[in-house]
């Protein structure tokens, strides 16, 4: 590979790109990565990490209210948005520094500028410099979408929401996925009047709809105005500075902030991929094979830019597998089955395996077990919301094929339980496990 400047050039220093760079370098490759924004990518800089910190911050609203039932005097407690916002930003800065150290320790050269593909073995930097590489990896992630309607530019996306100078009095959150539901919960707990609206007739389509139905009921009980079948027509600025969202026959909504959370599109625009002959699908995603290779043999792609499974842990695994395959003499692929996922809504939901509707089509002898209960903390706090755990079992083999939860700490509980689903454990093996009492997780081994 001596005729090239680098063995590997990575475009994008997000989770997948950083992992691929580090592992390739550990296999002896000469590696460089270009990042036009900040090292760490969406998850670390403007995604799951800062969002989860906002989720934690918003939980104190209910915790402080509940504390009175536990004997605590919380009178006089106040909330200051700039304090939370700035502390979250400082943590993001710290993590970005650590990601940079990781690349530096691995002897990966970092170009902090935009790079585009200029050929099968060539990239061009924004500064004009041309660099050659034996292999190129596209790891540019995805970008928040906006609807093609008049006034869409008056709204913001998840890219900007972490930097609001002040919280709005009212907010319309447009979308039906995890980002929309998570920010609806965050803003609602922080005192914002929230309307959660979507064009469709369902929320969180990829999750078990019985679980989603309970989330919507609880969300509405907490004061979130959830509107389905809301056809966004336009957004206009009113004389007093507020926004008017035109919902056609569904009526208008006056608000102070519109947050577009309608999905994320692969970030391939302007990267030179078409000119290089790289195949894209109808949504602009890079088409790759099981080994993350495009139709151009020297060019690969991992993570959200491929639009396979838009999850940070998946991008990390894809980046690692790519590096092992190309530079570690260890060809391997990723198993996309039984991936646990969560929505950090209020309360959170989590699931692994097919939903009940999907499982009924796959397993003719499907058995469904449920536990509908009120968490002990909620009982003493006099909070009425209930948790729901569902276990899906293939009656022909007794194997647990799916778990779907809504309730406090659902994601924390599901992570360990997902191992059992991935391993193919049976309902009898769950039943044979002694319950850890008192806990919410014990419901997983008590369903009869």
As annotated, the binding site for NAD(+) includes 175-182, 263
The strand pairing partners of 426, in sequence order, are 399
Residue 283 class from Cβ within 10 Å (0-12 exposed, 13-18 middle, 19+ buried)? exposed
Q: Provide the annotated binding site for FAD.
A: 52, 304
Distance, in Å, from the CA atom of 219 to the CA atom of 431, rounded to the nearest integer, reads 33
Residue 69: count other Cβ atoms within 10 Å of its Cβ: 13
232: left (phi over 0), alpha (psi -120 to 50) or beta: beta
Residues 6+ apart with CB under 8 A from 4: 121, 132, 133, 134
What would the 3-class secondary structure string for 72-97 be?
A: CCCCCCCCCHHHHHHHHHHHHHHHHH
Q: Provide the annotated binding site.
A: 52, 175-182, 263, 304
413: left (phi over 0), alpha (psi -120 to 50) or beta: alpha
Contact 20, 10 (CB under 8 A): yes
437 carries an active-site annotation: yes
Contact 269, 181 (CB under 8 A): no
Distance, in Å, from the CA atom of 70 to the CA atom of 134, rounded to the nearest integer, reads 63
Q: Nearest Cα to 420, choosing from 335, 333, 353?
A: 353
Catalytic residue among 27, 59, 163, 437: 437
DSSP result, 134-182: EEEEE---EEE---SSTTGGGSB-TTTGGG-SS--SEEEEE-SSHHHHH
Residues in the chain: 448
Residues 6+ apart with CB under 8 A from 38: 45, 96
Residue 45 class from Cβ within 10 Å (0-12 exposed, 13-18 middle, 19+ buried)? buried
Distance, in Å, from the CA atom of 148 to the CA atom of 108, rounded to the nearest integer, reads 40
List the catalytic residues: 437
């Amino acid at each position: 590979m001596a005729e090239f400047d680098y063995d590997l050039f990575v475009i994008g220093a997000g989770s997948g790109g950083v992992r691929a760079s580090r592992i390739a370098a550990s296999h002896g490759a000469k590696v460089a990565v270009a990042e036009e924004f900040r090292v760490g990518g969406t998850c670390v800089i403007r995604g799951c990490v800062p969002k989860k910190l906002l989720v934690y911050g918003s939980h104190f609203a209910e915790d402080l209210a509940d504390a009175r039932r536990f004997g605590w005097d919380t009178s006089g407690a106040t909330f200051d948005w700039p304090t939370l916002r700035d502390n979250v930003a400082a943590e993001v800065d710290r993590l970005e520094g650590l990601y940079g150290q990781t690349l530096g320790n691995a002897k990966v050269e970092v170009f902090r500028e935009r790079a585009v593909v200029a050929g099968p073995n060539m990239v061009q930097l924004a500064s004009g410099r041309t660099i050659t590489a034996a292999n190129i990896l596209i790891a540019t992630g995805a970008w928040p979408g906006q609807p093609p309607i008049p006034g869409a530019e008056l709204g913001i996306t998840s890219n900007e929401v972490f930097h609001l100078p002040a919280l709005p009095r009212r907010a319309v959150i447009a979308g039906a996925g995890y980002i929309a539901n998570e920010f609806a919960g965050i803003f609602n707990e922080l005192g914002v009047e929230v309307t959660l609206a979507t064009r469709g007739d369902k929320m969180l389509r990829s999750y078990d709809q019985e679980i989603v139905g309970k989330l919507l009921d609880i969300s509405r009980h907490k004061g979130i105005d959830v509107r389905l079948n809301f056809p966004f027509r336009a957004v206009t600025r009113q004389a007093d500075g507020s926004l008017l969202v035109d919902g056609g026959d569904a009526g208008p909504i006056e608000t102070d902030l519109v947050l577009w959370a309608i999905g994320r599109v692969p970030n391939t625009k302007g990267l030179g991929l078409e000119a290089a002959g790289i195949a894209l699908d109808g949504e602009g995603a890079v088409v790759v094979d099981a080994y993350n290779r495009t139709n151009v043999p020297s060019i690969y792609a991992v993570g959200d830019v491929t639009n396979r499974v838009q999850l940070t842990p998946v991008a990390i695994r894809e980046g690692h597998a790519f590096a092992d395959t190309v530079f570690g003499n260890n060809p391997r692929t990723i198993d996309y089955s039984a991936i646990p996922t969560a929505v950090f809504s209020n309360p959170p939901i989590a699931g692994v395996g097919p939903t009940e509707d999907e499982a009924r089509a796959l397993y003719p002898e499907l058995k469904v077990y449920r536990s509908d209960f009120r968490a002990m903390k909620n009982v003493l706090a006099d909070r009425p919301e209930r948790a729901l755990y569902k276990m899906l079992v293939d009656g022909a083999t007794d194997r647990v094929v799916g778990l779907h939860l809504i309730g406090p700490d659902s994601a924390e509980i599901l992570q360990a339980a997902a191992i059992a689903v991935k391993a193919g454990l049976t309902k009898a093996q769950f039943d044979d496990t002694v319950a850890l009492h008192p806990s919410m997780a014990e419901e997983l081994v008590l369903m009869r």
